[in-house]
């Protein structure tokens, strides 16, 4: 029973903090197992299931802090924004890409904590290690777990902050879409005006004696509008 109690304490100590609920199951032979999924028990079975209250705050996250107008979530420096339009675009793209990276990091961190927890339980069950060495392993594991959980709280804080920027992102995307449509319509009108005023661009054919003169006339006629089209193309690329 002492060994079972020790394993239970170790399991709870190193359990990933992302599990919503943990179930302790004792079967008919007295075997104890733990699971994050509620087990299905037959009505006639003597197996017992107990919900463990681990006292875990699933929403735990680092408190947002500021230093010289720069915001932080623990060790994570959050994207900042200035007043010019280019910075707004950079800020939005930075928030979107950072959020994606933070979520991926949180998934990897959860997997790392789960793996460490399983390893700790395996060490506790093993008879290969003496008690002194087990204590050293457990101490090192606790330090690693504390560091991982701090990173987890920082990441949760950063992801939560990025969610507060959704309104700004949605407004920016709507403005970008509207501007994209407006510029595309102007480009179509300019291209149409070139055809109306200058005709279609002559194909390049050096075997035709009049080809060079035709292309030169068309180029001179359409130069101003083609310059505007290139400018619009640059604006459209900047919106992508």
Which has more pLDDT, 8 or 90? 90
Split at pLDDT 50, 70, 90, the class of 19 is: very low
Banded pLDDT at 61 (limits 50, 70, 90): confident
Rounded Cα gap, residues 14 and 16, in angstroms: 6
How does the average pLDDT of the chain come out, rounded? 80
- The predicted model gives 171-190 an average pLDDT of 94
Burial group, residue 226, by CB count within 10 angstroms (0-12, 13-18, 19+): middle
Calculate the CA 216 to chain-centre distance: 53
Residues 6+ away with beta carbon under 8 Å from 21 = 36, 38, 51, 52
Residue 189: which pLDDT band, with cuts at 50, 70 and 90?
very high
CB 12 within 8 A of CB 52: yes
Flag the least confident range among 67-71, 140-144, 232-236.
140-144
Q: Under a CB-based contact definition with an 8 Å cutoff, are residues 180 and 236 in contact?
A: yes
Question: pTM for the whole thing?
Answer: 0.57
- Express each pLDDT in 71-125 by its tens digit: 999 999 999 876 654 567 888 889 999 999 999 998 888 887 777 766 666 655 6
Count CA atoms within 13 Å of residue 118 on its CB side: 6
Which position has the token pair 């463990």?
52
| Run of H or E residues at 25 | strand 22-26
pLDDT, position 240: 76
The Cα–Cα gap between 114 and 111 comes to: 5
Of the candidates 121, 236, 146, the one whose C-alpha atom is nearest the C-alpha of residue 183 is: 236
More confident residue, 58 or 157: 157
The helix-helix angle for 131-163 and 2-14 (nearest 10°) equals 30
Least confident of 12-21, 24-33, 198-207: 12-21
pLDDT cut 70: percent of the chain above it: 71
- pLDDT over 50 at 17, yes or no: no
DSSP tag of 129: S
Sheet containing 32-35: which strands, arranged edge to edge?
32-35, 22-26, 48-52
- pLDDT band, very low/low/confident/very high, at 182 (cuts 50, 70, 90): very high
């Amino acid at each position: 029973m002492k060994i079972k109690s020790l394993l239970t304490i170790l399991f709870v100590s190193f359990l990933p903090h992302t599990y919503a609920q943990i179930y302790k199951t004792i079967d008919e032979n007295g075997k104890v197992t733990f699971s994050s999924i509620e087990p299905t028990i037959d009505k006639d079975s003597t197996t017992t299931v107990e919900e463990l209250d681990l006292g875990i705050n699933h929403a735990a996250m680092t408190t947002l802090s500021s230093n010289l107008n720069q915001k932080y979530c623990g060790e994570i420096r959050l994207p900042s924004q200035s007043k010019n339009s280019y910075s707004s675009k950079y800020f939005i793209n930075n928030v979107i890409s950072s959020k994606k990276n933070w979520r991926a990091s949180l998934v990897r961190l959860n997997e790392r904590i789960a793996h460490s927890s399983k390893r700790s339980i395996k060490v506790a069950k093993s008879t290969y290690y003496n008690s002194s060495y087990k204590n050293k392993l457990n101490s090192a594991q606790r330090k690693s777990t504390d560091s991982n959980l701090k990173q987890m709280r920082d990441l949760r804080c950063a992801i939560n902050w990025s969610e507060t920027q959704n309104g700004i992102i949605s407004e920016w995307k709507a403005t970008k879409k509207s501007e994209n449509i407006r510029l595309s319509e102007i480009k179509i009108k300019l291209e149409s005006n070139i055809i109306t005023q200058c005709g279609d661009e002559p194909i390049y054919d050096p075997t035709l004696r009049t080809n060079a003169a035709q292309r030169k006339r068309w180029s001179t006629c359409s130069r101003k509008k083609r310059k505007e089209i290139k400018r619009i193309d640059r604006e459209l690329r900047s919106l992508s």
